[in-house]
Amino acid sequence: MHGFCSTAEVNARQDAAPLYWHSTGEVSIPPELEGFDLRPGKPEGAGVAICFVPLGAEHPVSTAVAVRQILGPDEYLIGVADAAFGAPRADDILQAGFDDVLLLGRLDDMTLCLARARAVLARRRRMRRELAHVELERDHLQACIDSLPTPIFFKNGEGIYVGCNKAFEGFIGLPTEKVIGSSVYDVAPEDLARRYQQADDALLARGGEQVYECEVRYADGSLHHVAFHKAAIVSEDGRLRGIAGAMLDITDRKSLEVRLIDAAARDPLTNAYNRRKFFEIATEAIELARREGRPVSVAVIDLDRFKSINDQFGHAEGDRVLRATAALLEGSAGDGITIARAGGEEFYALFPGFTLMQAAEIADSMRRQVSDAGFLPDVDEPAGTLSIGVAELDPLRGTLWDALKEADEALYRAKRSGRNRICIALRQSGYASEA
């Protein structure tokens, strides 16, 4: 049974939600509602008032739509109509955006109408508080990730960006408002976009985490090595909702790795390749030459009277001569030829694709250049010149060690013959050259 409340009771219950009478056509407050302290006009706050709106017999739906547009989505709107309005038309008003309908001939429904209004407004206030809290947390989180130098991004399950930080803006070259709502094909070159999308699809298919490295070009044109760290976002019911990702710039680390690898392959004094690197390169070159039926030659190179240089001028001067010799050898070697320091004052040279005589001609040119350079012009006897032995690898049965042994024997013949000259392996020829 619906009881009718007095004006005082209704007003007492509405302290937190003032009642308004909002009429677009200057319709006066009906006598039946005059005792309910309805304030004429538009509510001053958003979502804190209950508005009674008169609905005439003509065009009530269009009136309802217009009022909702004027007052906004948050106000609680009650359409007031004649008792003959009818339930079907009342339903149309609710569909048009009103929250409730009050028929003047049934004012005993006022108590329930206002109770419903209070409950809805309470829920709305609670939702606004919760939303404000969520927005505060979101803004705090956004400020946190914006302060990080690492590009961070979020995508939904369809691969559409739903968030990112300032560093990601810098990487992509677009503001956040243009990133959000875009796919990777909208913000990256097609070849990179295809690679990123394939990685995303794989992650969304299996879940978990994903880490991979690739080279990317930033919006400013600079090329960076980047490690992508991605994780699938999973809802409480276990469904995959999207992807969270971070891009770690590992350019400096990669550069350091390259330098360390190169340093491990280099002789620290001369910066020529070291013995270990020479054998690594030579092994690969010999395997390739055998597959392709190409020749490979080697040379053993020695600085003449190097001990006398150290004894007469000191080790610092000897080191200088070694560095200068290595630089000249590498500078005159030509493409594809490898020079390495074997140890002490001895160097190796690898000539992939060169026959014995071709390698000998190149080696002899090196010898002449070092001799002409005159690294030690004030010595009484030739010192700091080169003696060289050259040998060609037997493509069927020979090993690298066999060829180096033959080249080493040829080197000692050059030494015994007066130094500053080149000799080739006896098994292959009796060729010799000197200054």
User: What's the pLDDT tens digit per position in 210-245?
Assistant: 999 988 888 788 888 999 999 999 988 888 899 999
Predicted local confidence at residue 66, as pLDDT: 85
User: What's the pLDDT tens digit per position in 327-342?
Assistant: 999 999 888 999 999 9
pLDDT over 90 (residue 179): yes
Q: What are residue 153's phi and psi, to 5 degrees?
A: -145, 160
pLDDT over 60 (residue 355): yes
Predicted local confidence at residue 217, as pLDDT: 82
**What domains, with CATH codes, occur in the chain?**
7-125 (3.40.50.2300), 148-254 (3.30.450.20), 266-434 (3.30.70.270)
Given strand 240-249, what is the order of strands in its sheet? Answer: 161-164, 152-156, 240-249, 223-234, 209-217
Q: How confident is the model at residue 150 (pLDDT cuts 50, 70, 90)?
A: very high
User: Of 402 and 377, which is predicted with more confidence?
Assistant: 402
pLDDT over 60 (residue 14): no
Q: Partners of 296 in the beta sheet?
A: 352
Distance CA 407, CA 392 (A): 8
Residue whose pair of structure tokens reads 């001067």 in the numeric block:
317
Residue 69 in tokens: 């547009």
Predicted local confidence at residue 191, as pLDDT: 85
pLDDT average, residue stretch 246-269: 92
**Of 21-30, 81-90, 338-347, 370-379, where does the model show the most confidence?**
338-347
Predicted local confidence at residue 162, as pLDDT: 95
Q: What angle do CA 224, 227, 229 make, to 5 degrees?
A: 145
pLDDT average, residue stretch 344-362: 96
Residue 16 in tokens: 């937190």
User: DSSP letter string over 385-420?
Assistant: -EEEEEEE--TTT--HHHHHHHHHHHHHHHHHTTSS
pLDDT over 80 (residue 396): no
Average pLDDT, the chain: 86
Q: How confident is the model at residue 381 (pLDDT cuts 50, 70, 90)?
A: low
pLDDT average, residue stretch 194-212: 92
For the entire predicted model, the pTM comes to: 0.57
Q: What are residue 100's phi and psi, to 5 degrees?
A: -160, 165
Question: What number of other Cβ atoms are within 10 A of residue 78's Cβ?
Answer: 21
User: DSSP letter string over 168-209?
Assistant: HHHHHTS-HHHHTT-BHHHHS-HHHHHHHHHHHHHHHHH-SE
User: What's the pLDDT tens digit per position in 403-426?
Assistant: 999 999 999 999 999 999 999 997
User: Of 88 and 315, which is predicted with more confidence?
Assistant: 315
Q: Which of 73-87, 273-287, 398-412, 418-432 has the lowest mean pLDDT?
A: 418-432
Predicted local confidence at residue 322, as pLDDT: 94
pLDDT average, residue stretch 376-381: 55
User: Of 420 and 374, which is predicted with more confidence?
Assistant: 420
Predicted local confidence at residue 68, as pLDDT: 83
Predicted local confidence at residue 5, as pLDDT: 43
pLDDT average, residue stretch 295-308: 94
Distance CA 329, CA 362 (A): 10
Question: What number of other Cβ atoms are within 10 A of residue 391's Cβ?
Answer: 29
